[in-house]
């Protein structure tokens, strides 16, 4: 079989075509098609149960669609070879078994190990990457603590560090700020902005936070089983149908940059 190369230079980094997904008999996603471009900061919004998490899991190959296809970095998701270029912070990542005695450094280090060939141990370079990722989320001083001894918000920040430890090209986040206090949230969104602008990291974030949509993103996808809207933030602001899906939409103002 041909080795799949991953193309990070293409303008289109994620291509979703005619996706259908069912849980049992229930149609969850219907005919979803759109592209995510290099450098996009995309918000996926929509009511509870509208299929946002399901869509992310399909994009990441964790669920198989009934119909349709996903292409990541030029390669079909079913045969992708460069998972180290993809970061993922799942919704409610913080279900930590209190009896599992793993340190913060080890949790983030797992992100390095997962992307390694043989030998699977951490080099000095890996340890530096772990420390740098923890610094970026403001958790460097917790490096030797047990993950189970941290608060929920601190754990969430560690999971975010794990997702960025390999300097991914695309970062998927499913309501990442849940449980994080507002100061840490601002720092976290500023970090995403910085990675997005300075390192051309493509960011795809499920969120219910209209303030974040206003302040940080350049593209919006509104899901309600179907893709109700996909476009730029400016287009989103002038689409009454799209805005009606988010509570607090009356606070919308187009003022990014
Ligand atoms: N494992 C499952 N088995 C059966 N149905 C499921 C399963 N997971 C999710 N669903 C259903 O699929 C639909 C979409 O769920 P999904 O988690 O994608 O929604 P969401 O948009 O992420 O919602 P939220 O904003 O609450 O996170 C919901 O109706 C949900 O009840
Ligand atoms: Mg969800």
Distance (Å) from CA 50 to ligand 1 centroid: 7
Who surrounds ion ligand 2 at CB < 5 A? 52-53, 91
Atom 1 of ligand 1: nearest residue by CA position: 23
> Which of 28, 176, 178, 246 should be mutated for ligand 1, with most atoms under 8 A from CB?
28
Atom 25 of ligand 1: nearest residue by CA position: 48
Sheet of 41-45, strands arranged across: 86-89, 170-174, 202-206, 41-45, 219-224, 226-232
Q: Which ligand is nearest to the CA of 173?
A: 2
What is the Cα–Cα distance from 175 to 190, expressed in whole angstroms? 16
What is the Cα–Cα distance from 32 to 68, expressed in whole angstroms? 8
Q: Is 50 in the pocket of ligand 1 (CB under 6 A)?
A: yes
In the CATH hierarchy, which top-level class contains the domain 12-97+169-251?
alpha beta
pLDDT tens per residue across all 257 residues of the chain = 445 578 888 999 999 999 999 999 999 999 999 999 999 999 999 999 999 999 999 999 999 999 999 999 999 999 998 888 999 988 876 566 666 789 999 999 988 887 776 667 888 999 999 999 999 888 999 999 999 888 888 888 898 899 999 999 999 999 988 877 888 888 888 889 988 998 889 999 999 888 888 888 999 999 999 999 999 999 988 888 777 766 654 444 444 44
Phi/psi at 146 (nearest 5 deg)? -75, 135
What is the Cα–Cα distance from 20 to 29, expressed in whole angstroms? 5
Cα separations in angstroms, 147 against 97, 108, 114, 205:
9, 10, 19, 24
> What pLDDT does 100 receive?
73
pTM of the model: 0.89
Tokens for 33, please give them: 């098609």
């Amino acid at each position: 079989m041909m080795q799949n190369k991953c193309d990070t230079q293409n303008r289109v980094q994620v291509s979703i075509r005619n996706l259908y997904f069912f849980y049992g008999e229930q149609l969850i996603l219907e005919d979803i098609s759109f592209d995510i471009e290099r450098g996009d900061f995309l918000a996926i919004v929509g009511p509870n149960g509208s299929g946002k998490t399901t869509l992310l899991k399909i994009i990441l190959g964790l669920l198989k669609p009934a119909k349709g296809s996903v292409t990541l970095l030029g390669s079909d998701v079913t045969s992708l070879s460069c998972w180290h270029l993809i970061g993922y912070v799942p919704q409610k990542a913080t279900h930590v078994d209190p009896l599992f005695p793993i340190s913060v450094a080890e949790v983030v280090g797992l992100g390095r190990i997962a992307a390694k060939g043989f030998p699977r141990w951490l080099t000095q370079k890996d340890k530096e990457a772990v420390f740098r990722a923890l610094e970026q989320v403001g958790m460097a001083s917790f490096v030797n603590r047990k993950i189970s001894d941290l608060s929920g918000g601190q754990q969430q920040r560690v999971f975010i560090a794990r997702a960025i430890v390999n300097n991914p090209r695309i970062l998927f986040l499913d309501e990442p700020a849940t449980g994080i206090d507002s100061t840490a949230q601002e720092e976290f969104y500023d970090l995403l902005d910085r990675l997005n602008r300075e390192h051309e990291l493509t960011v795809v974030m499920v969120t219910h936070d209209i303030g974040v949509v206003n302040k940080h993103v350049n593209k919006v996808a509104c899901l309600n089983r179907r893709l109700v809207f996909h476009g730029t933030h400016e287009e989103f602001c002038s689409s009454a149908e799209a805005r009606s899906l988010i509570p607090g939409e009356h606070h919308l103002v187009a003022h990014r940059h």
